[in-house]
Each structure stands twice: as C-alpha cells, then as structure tokens.
Amino acid sequence: MSKQVVIIGAGPAGLTGAYELNKLGLRSTVLEADDVVGGISRTVNYRGYRFDIGGHRFFSKVPLINELWREILGEDFLDRPRMSRIFYNGKFFDYPLKAANALKNLGPIESMLVGLSYARAKVFPSRDEENFEQWVSNRFGHRLYSIFFKTYTEKVWGIPCTEISADWAAQRIKNLSLTEAVRNALFGSGKSRDGQVITTLIDSFHYPRFGPGQMWERCEKLVNESGNQCVRGVQADRIRHRNGRVEYVVGRSTNGEQIEFAGDHFISSMPIRELIHAFDPPPPDEVLRAADGLRYRDYLTVVLIVNREQMFPDNWIYIHSPEVMMGRIQNYKSWSPDMVPDPRKSSLGLEYFLWDKDDQWTWSDDRLIELGIQECERIKIIGRSEVEDGTVVRMRKAYPIYDQHYQENLAVVRRWLDTIVNIQCVGRNGQHRYNNQDHSMLTAVFAARNIVGERHDVWSVNVEKEYHEEAKVATPAAGERLVPARIIRPEPAAPVPSPDELIEAAFARLDPIALGTAVGTLTGLGLFMATAILLLQHGPRVGENLSLLSHYLLGYKASSWSGAFIGLVEAGIGGFILGYVIAWLHNIGLGRYVSMIRRRAVREEEKEILEKV
C-alpha cells in the first residue's frame, strides 16, 4: 500500500513537498490554515490590483529549483529588470551604493565627512566588534553607517543596532569558500558552479506574470489534478503522536469542525513554535520553553492605488529617512505590468515592520492608509490627491528573529523533534531560518526524497556547504531529467571535471614531504650515478670538476666509491630540504593569493549588506 503523507502549510515549501512527492509516486494531503495558498509568497488581489507580500524575486543558485519554477509556471515566468534605490534626505541613492552617485547626492561637505569617518574607521577601527553598529562602522565608517544602515536595520528588526550581534552581520556576509571566492573573481558572482550564467541580482530576475501567488496557485492546481488534495481553511490544531511517531493531525476548519488526517509521514512548514505547542501529548516543559523563546517579526503592507501611470522604475525603494515609519515602498507595476489592471494607474506597497503587540498593528485599515498617505506626502513621493484607494494586508510571523538565544532554543527543539521519526520540518518558519523561497523549496524536496529512502539533512539547506552540495548534484543534466529526450549512446569519454573541481585542484597545496622526498631522491641518486659513471670510466684525473662539490658536501670525493655514497646521502638531504622549502613557499604564496581573492569577494558581498538585512 502506498504511503500517505500529510503536509502542514501550503506555502512554497509545503506545495513543493506535495509536488515532489507526486513525482515520486506518493499521495499527499496539504493543510492550509488560510484561504489562500503561497504563505508569505502569496499574491493578494484587491479590485484586480495584485500585490506581493514583501517582494519575491525568483532567483536561485540551485538549478533544480530554477527547473521546478519553469516546470510549474511555463511561459508566464517573466524576466524582469532589477532596480532598487535608497531614499534618504529627499534624494535617491543607487543601491548597491556607487561612489559617484553617493558623493553627488550627499554634497561635498557631507561627502568629506563620510570620507574622514571612513578613513578613521580604517586607521582606528573599533577593537570590540560585538554589535552590528561596530561591525558596519568598521567597514564603512560610522557616518555612512548612520545614513545607510542604522535607520533601515532598526526599522526592519525593531531592535537598536547596538543590540544586534555582530555575528549576525558576519553571517549575512557568508564566509565565502575558496571555490566561491575564486569563481566570483573569475566569472563574477553571476556564474553558477557549473559555469552556467545565472541571472544576477544586479541585472534581472524572474517573476510570475501575476505575482508569486500565481506560481503557488498553479502548483496547487497541479497537485490537486494529480489526485492529491490541498485543503484550504484547515488549521493544524493538534498533532497526535505515540511511541515516537506522529499518528494523525487534528485539523480545525473555519467553521470549527475538527477533522483527523492520518498519515505515514508528516511534513510541517508551520511555525516551529506553534508546531511544538500542537503536539499531543505535549513535549517536556524545557522544550515548550525553548519553543516560546523563538520570536518572529510581523509585517504589514499599506497598499495605495495611485492615479499616475508611472511612479519610478524601481521594484522597491528602501526608505532610510528616519522621519517616517515605513521601511520600503514596493512599486508592483515594476515587478510585472500585469499586477495593475489599469495601465493609467500604479499601485504602491508601503511596508511597515512591526510586532503584533505594537499599537499600529491593531489600528484600523483606514487609519493605517491615512498614515501611509501622510508619510508619502512627507517624503514627497506622491500627493494626497493622487491616491484613489487603499487597503492593508497584515502578515504575522513574516521573519524569524535571530536573537541571542534563538540558536540554543532551536537546538533544544530540534533535539526533541529528532525523537519523532516520521515528521520533518521545512520552510522558513518551519525551521525558524531566514530562508529565501528557493531554500524553503529545497528543504521540501529533500524531505520528500527522504520519505522514499534517500538521506538528506533538511536542516543543512542554506548552511553554505551542504546547500552547495545539492547545487553540485543539481547540474543541468539533473534538471534535464524532466524533459523527454532522445536516447543517445554516449561516446566513452573521461569525466569532465566541474569548474569547482578544477579550482580545488588549481589551488591544491603541494605536499612538502613528498616534494622533498622526490627532489632528495633525484639529487642524491643523480650525484651518485654521476660519480659512479666517472669512477667506472677510470680517467686520469677522475671527477676533478665534480669534486668541487666537496666545498658544499662534507667528505664528498668524486674519485672514490665512499665519496659516491657520501654524495648520495648529503645531496639527498640537501635535495629534500630544497624540495620541502619550494613546496612550503609555494603554499604560502598560494595562501596569500587566495586570501587576497577572498578579501576582494567579501568586499563585494559587503556592498549588498542591506539586501541581506
């Protein structure tokens, strides 16, 4: 009998899980608490105006995910130009920051102060790099930090930058591996490890014609059509388990009706804190406390429909101006022209990052729309008279919070979850990890494959090394398995090494002992043979010139067999030392060179820190 899988949540992770399971020949039931699918990647439709919750660029380094997107959406997947700028002090700054543009907008005096502050940071960096402020200031100078990083970061996370750990910033600028650094240096960051061109973050990205929700509605349709079931409006209330196995999920529909969903395997993308509380019988107190320690940042969007054909070319604008609360403005028409039903109009999404305990969270929609209009007027983006209509979308638990304790709390929760053998956690909130959409999808692909006997660590996705392992597996050849192809009998050929293998080989270290041994053997035997040949020739003045080596080799004589053996030993030792030193110097030189490449790559990464915030 076929295994039955119950998936909690119909966001990108949950639906990808169902889609992958179907490919693997397994049936699944997806439970979605909301009346729409897509999770935070949904598209909300208000009077034909579509908007995205947070802006989702479809961009992945994992070929498998790119294939999945194409497979699900087909021709409705647009290639869109990417543009985002920073709005500060009434001016637009290019993002990533460009020196000429920043200097022009800041003016000569401010630019000079920024320059001095940068120089100061370089000469006298903060010795203690404990918080985000110190971390950024050491790299960009305190003045630039105050202008471009402080306000926005604090708006997004609701915590003073001095209370955000420097580790968190360092994690955003990932510790580039040797191969990544070299690959970036050689090809630019837009090349994947298989050498394919990936649409870069700088230039363009993919986007569904009608927003990300279109992807997930299509995915839901495909899942349903293939005999599976995606049930909207059912909240996973209780997860009944016994003897280390989940037996069934008790779902509660919107009218309060309780339904049991039994299964052999379970995949959860619901917030891990709620998941732990849903277990019946409940986990130990220590686990419940740890789960309660996991926090989320909430988020709301005020959407304004504006009577103007073109607003600005950006997909979004970061609002660094401290006089307003909003963090970003989305321009949905720039994401896709089809997001707006009337080409003479535009729609803007004003994003507010909040806690659900904040006053503003409970404000009425009208009051929030009024706030949005006032703030837009204050920064002179639009006039009140241009606003035709508006609406508000609230999204709880949009961002998992990486506070000081989240890692230890998560570890406690995971340890307990490991005792339940037939449930896997996937997705952003399912793993309490700041996953992008592609990471979330990959966790679900892994979870689905685990059910059919493969062994993947779903928690390793978005933890660089293993994530890249998957990328390595997911070569274009792996992606092509989805397309019917003519049988080709390949010519037997040597396996072609990947660019990363070539980089690894090119930057491989020489073994000093091995090179020492090789050079030592050759020099020792070489001298021995040269001496021996001369001795065997029995000339009148045997080895007169070769004997000059006795200046360096103690006791060496080219005129005697004992000298030949002494030469063998001493030249062997000398050769060994020579070979060892050559290998050591080679490795040191290579190390310095790689270090330089890595520093350059990290500097490039740091330019995009705002994106990572």
Partner 1 sequence: MTSRTDPLYEVSHAVARMKAGVLAIIFAVICGGGLFLATVWLLIKGGPRVGEHLNLLSHFFIGYSVSWGGSVVGLFWGALAGAVIGWTLGLIYNSVAGLRTR
Q: For binding to partner 1 (CB under 8 A), which residues are involved?
A: 178, 503-505, 507-511, 513-515, 517-519, 521-522, 526, 530, 533-534, 537, 539, 545, 587-588, 590-592, 594-595, 598
Comparing CB distances to partner 1, the nearer of 337 and 589 is: 589
If phi > 0 it is left, if psi is from -120 to 50 it is alpha, else beta; for residue 529 that is alpha
Token couple for 317: 């604008």
| Closest CB 594 distance from partner 1, rounded Å | 4
With a CB cutoff of 8 Å and minimum separation 6, the contacts of 279 are 238, 239, 241
Residue nearer to partner 1 on the CB measure, 259 or 510:
510
Q: How far is the CB of 191 from partner 1 (least distance, A)?
A: 19
* Cβ contacts of 127 within 8 Å, gap of 6 or more: none
Least CB distance to partner 1 at residue 54 (A): 36
Cα 319 to Cα 147: distance, rounded to the nearest angstrom:
11
Q: For residues 137 and 121, is the Cβ–Cβ distance under 8 A?
A: yes
**Please, which residue, 511 or 606, has the CB nearer to partner 1?**
511
Joined together, the tokens standing for residue 374 give: 């006032």
The smaller minimum CB distance to partner 1, of residues 36 and 530, is found at 530
CB of 141 to partner 1, least distance (A): 26
Query: Please, which residue, 184 or 315, has the CB nearer to partner 1?
Result: 184
Neighbouring-strand partners of residue 423: 266
CB of 540 to partner 1, least distance (A): 13
Give me 263's structure tokens.
């299964």
Q: What is the DSSP letter of 402?
A: -
What is the β-pairing status of strands 265-268 and 423-425? parallel
Query: Which residue number, 221 or 509, has a Cβ lying nearer to partner 1?
Result: 509
Burial of 475 (0-12, 13-18, 19+ CB in 10 A): middle
**Nearest of 266, 237, 240 to residue 253 by alpha carbon:** 237
Structure tokens at 408: 């230890």
- Beta carbon of residue 521, minimum distance to partner 1 (angstroms, whole number): 5
Smallest distance, partner 1 to C-beta of residue 529, A: 9
Beta strands in 163-315 (DSSP E): 204-208, 229-232, 234-242, 245-253, 258-262, 265-268, 279-280, 296-306
| 295 vs 273: CA distance, rounded Å | 8
Give me the residues paired with residue 505 across strands: none
Nearer to partner 1, 262 or 596 (CB): 596
> What is the chain's length?
613
* Residue whose CB is less far from partner 1, 324 or 534: 534
Residue 73 CB, nearest distance to partner 1 (Å)?
Answer: 39
Nearer to partner 1, 452 or 514 (CB): 514
> Cβ of 489: how many Cβ atoms within 10 Å?
5
Instruction: Quote the least distance from Cβ 168 to partner 1, whole Å.
Output: 20
